[in-house]
Amino acid sequence: MIIDIILPLSLVFIMYSLGLSLTTEDFKNVARQPKVFTVGIINQMLFLPLVAFGIILLFGISKEMAVGLMILSCCPGGVTSNIITKMAKGDTALSISYTAVISVLTVITLPVITGFSIHYFMGSEAPPINVLTLGITMFAITAIPVALGLLTHHKAEHFTSNFEPKASKISGVLFVLIVIGALASEWDAFITNVTILGPSIVTLIILMLLIGYGSAHLFKMSEPQAVSVAIATGIQNATVGITVGNLILSGGEGLSVLSLPSGVYGILMYLVCLPIVFVYVKWIRVKFST
C-alpha cells in the first residue's frame, strides 16, 4: 500500500517540477520548427519502440523483462534530458519543447504499446490490463501535473523562480530513491537477468543516441539541434517506467518486476550517457579552438 501511494505521488511531484520549467513558448516551438519536431517525434514515438522490440528478440529477453523494456521505450524524456542537453551544448529550449510535447503524447501511445506488449510477450500469463484505464491514469499522474506546473509558472513567476530549482533537486532525490527501491525490491530478479538486461539497455541507449544524431544531420539540422534530437531520442524518464510497471503488476510491499528494466536503465543512463556527453563536449572545444 505504501509503494502504491508513494510511487505515483513521487511521479506527480516530478512531473509538476517539470511543468514549472515550461512556458507556453515551449509548445509554440512545435509550429515554428515543424521539421525538427517531426524528426524527433518519429524517432521517439516510432523508432524507439521498434528498436527496443528488435533488441528484445536479439537478446532473447522474455516475459516480464521484455514488457518492462517496452514500457521504458514508450516513456517520455524528463528534466534529466534537458540538463544533459545543456551540458552537451545543445539547443536547450528545443529539448524542453520536446519534453513538453512528448510528455503529453505518451499518455496515448504508452498504454496502447504496453497493452500489445503484455499480450505478445506474456500470453496466457499476462495480467489483466485496461488500456483506457491506464491511459486515464497516465493522464492524471503525468499530463495534469505538468499542466499545473505550467499554470503555476504562468500565474506565479516569482514563486516559480524561487521554488523551481528546489523542486528540481527534490525530484532528483526522489528519482534516486525510486531507482534504488526498484533494484532492492527485485534484487534476485535483477541478479538473474543483469547479464541480459545490462547489455540490452546499453545497446538501446547507444543506438538511439546514434539514430537521433544521424537523423538530425540527415535533415540538415544545426549542430545544437542535432545534439538535442539525439539526447531527446536516447534519454527516457525512468520514473515513469517504474511507476507504470507497478500500476500494471503490483509488487506487494516492493516494486513490480515490470519496473526492473526501468530501474536498471536509471543507473546505466548516467554511466553510458554522461561519458559520451563529456567526450563530445571536449571534441567540440577542440574543434572550435583550432
Task: Give the span between the Cα atoms of 35 and 255, in whole angstroms.
Answer: 40
**Predicted pLDDT of residue 285:** 55
**Domain count of the fold of the chain:** 1
Q: Is the pLDDT of residue 70 over 90?
A: yes
**pLDDT above 70: residue 272:** yes
Rounded to the nearest integer, the mean pLDDT of the chain is: 82
For the record, the C-alpha cell of 214 comes out as 544521424
Opening angle at CA 59, ends 57 and 62, nearest 5: 65
Q: For position 289, what pLDDT does the model report?
A: 52
| The three grid cell numbers given for residue 208, joined into one nine-digit string | 538511439
CATH of the domain at 242: 1.20.1530.20
Check residue 251 and give its pLDDT. Answer: 60
The pLDDT of 156-162, averaged and rounded, is 83
Most confident of 2-6, 74-78, 115-119: 115-119
Which has the minimum average pLDDT: 25-34, 133-142, 149-158, 260-269?
25-34
With pLDDT > 70 as the criterion, what percentage of the chain qualifies? 92
pLDDT at 204: 92
Given a contact cutoff of 8 angstroms between Cβ atoms, the answer to whether 127 and 60 are in contact is no
Q: With beta carbons less than 8 A apart as the criterion, state whether 181 and 255 touch.
A: yes
Record the pTM. Answer: 0.83
Mean pLDDT calculated for residue range 242-264: 79
Question: For residue 284, is pLDDT > 80?
Answer: no
Q: Kindly report the CA angle at 9 between 7 and 12, in degrees rounded to 5? A: 115
CB 211 within 8 A of CB 51: yes
Give the three cell numbers for residue 88. 552537451
Structure confidence by residue, pLDDT tens digits, 172-196: 787 777 777 767 766 777 777 778 8
Cell numbers describing residue 92: 536547450
Residue numbers of the domain that contains 284: 2-289
The predicted pLDDT at position 51 comes to 95
Q: Please tell me the predicted confidence (pLDDT) of residue 50.
A: 95
